[in-house]
Amino acid sequence: MRHYSLLFCLFFMFLMARGQMSHGFEIGANLMNADFNIENAEIDAKNAVGPRAGYVGEYNITDALFLRGALLYMQKGFKFSDETWAVNSFDLPISVGYTFDLSGDKIQWFIDGGASLEYNTRAITRIDDEPVELIIGKEEGDIKALSSGVSFGTGLQFARLIKLRVNYYQGLTNMINTTTSDEWKNRYLGLSLNFLFRK
């Protein structure tokens, strides 16, 4: 994970030095859910809401084509009966996007897609509002510290400074260390505001 973080930082330092970088911050929420099954029995998972916030940077390859990267703190998980299962993580999503002018520089529509690497810092389940810590580790039944997924986004950009963004994420990693068929793969629909400062 350290190697990925170092490459990510070096990549964006290089882009900023080129003078075509915009950066800022993102704040929003995830409508989260998961594909979850234990002992071949699929659990009827329900939606839950979790926070998302962090730094975002974009590099304009052309006026329309851009690279997007971020360092985000967020929560993924789901509800089941009176239980809430959640994982807190630091995510490094990188995507390629394209903008379409709707009203010159005033309003653009954009789409983007890419992949995400995640470092999971805490996993809990709440039963009757009482938190129970889940172990993050490498033993059987532990929650994995590293995960990944793919994401696709779209939205509107105003004056090239503010983005109203919706994105869908599908986890590729089974969050449970197991040799059985048990599975926990996160997914969410994210809604966020991006505030960008352009050089």
pLDDT in tens, 154-199: 999 998 899 999 999 999 999 999 998 889 999 999 999 999 997 6
**Neighbour-count burial of 171, counting CB atoms closer than 10 A to its CB (0-12 exposed, 13-18 middle, 19+ buried):** buried
pTM over the 0.75 mark? yes
Output the pLDDT for position 110. Answer: 97
Output the pLDDT for position 28. Answer: 98
Token pair for residue 62? 């052309």
pLDDT in tens, 26-69: 999 999 999 988 877 777 899 999 999 999 999 988 889 999 99
Identify the H or E element spanning 161: none
pLDDT band at 96 (very low <50, low <70, confident <90, very high): very high
Output the pLDDT for position 101. Answer: 93
Domain covering 2-198 assigned CATH 2.40.160.20 in the classification: yes
135 DSSP assignment: P
* 10-43: burial string, b at 16+ Cβ within 10 Å, e else: eebeebeeeeebbbbbbebbbebbbbbeeeeeeb
